[in-house]
Amino acid sequence: MKVLVCISQVPDTVTKIVLKDNNTAIDESGTTFILNPYDEWYALVRALELKESGVAETVHLITVGRANTEPVIRKALALGGDEAVRIDADSADPFTVATYIAAYAKDAGYDLILCGKESIDYHNGAVGPMLAELLDADFLGFATHIDIAGNTATVKREIEGGEETDSVSLPVVISCQKGVAEARIPNMRGIMAARTRPLKVVSPAETPALTVIVSYELPVAKSGVKLVAADNMDELVNLLHTEAKVI
């Protein structure tokens, strides 16, 4: 069984974001980037577990990005990926990203495609289902447990108000979240091996973007904290009513 894991580069949650080009782009010069946690901790690690158990033969990685994404690709390889593909393009449009990946994966014979439930920058959660549609494959989202037996995947997934368990024939695209695997960190052997593992760079398929970033806005700066004496309930109620406007 061949497994493809979709990975993406995202800004670290603790990095300071600076905007440029009239607030239409992020200034990457001072931004720290990481491997998207949902892709790394859950989708990739579950794929590696399937390989270690003998269910999967190979685990390939794919990302859409420029050369500056290669450090996070190498980290993913250090965790245990067999080889990686970088589609040489830069896009924030999920349909474009899904189209690029689908064009590469269409004839590659992947039985299982895993991705994180969302990226922590845009929180779209859209690439996985779009990719499945473009590949004419089934899609299951928000997986917390994945088992593969023969040509069938059994997936436990979160739904509103509870959980459900589904069985689906391969090939299938699955988005993963907390619970599907335990996070790992690369060891020295993996880090050294990642330097020589194949990293293929391919040109993107031609496709029009359906969305364009008009502008970014930084969140409003937090105001100072007001302390109210424990025995002064009248002042607390007044502040909640007149300033916080929550009552």
Domain ranges of the chain: 2-217
- The more confident residue out of 246 and 132 is 132
Give pLDDT tens digits for 88-140: 998 889 999 999 999 999 999 999 999 999 999 999 999 999 999 999 999 99
Share of the chain above pLDDT 70, in %: 100
pTM: 0.87
What residue ranges in 100-215 does DSSP mark as E strands?
112-116, 138-149, 152-159, 162-169, 172-176, 199-202
Measured between alpha carbons, how far is 106 from 184 in angstroms, rounded to an integer?
Answer: 30
- Indicate the SS3 state at residue 114: strand
Give me the architecture of the 2-217 domain, per CATH.
Answer: 3-Layer(aba) Sandwich (3.40)
- Please give the Cα distance from 63 to 74 (Å, whole number): 12
Model confidence at 202: pLDDT above 90? yes
The model's pLDDT over 21-78, given as tens digits with 9 standing for 90+, comes to: 999 888 888 899 999 999 999 999 999 999 999 999 999 999 999 999 999 999 999 9
- Taking residues 217-233, what's their average pLDDT? 85
How big is the CA angle at 62 (ends 36 and 3), to the nearest 5 degrees?
Answer: 100
Residues 6+ apart with CB under 8 A from 3: 47, 50, 51, 56, 58, 59, 60, 110, 111, 112, 113, 114
d(CA 106, CA 111): 11
Beta bridge partners of 101: none
- 3-state SS, residue 100: helix
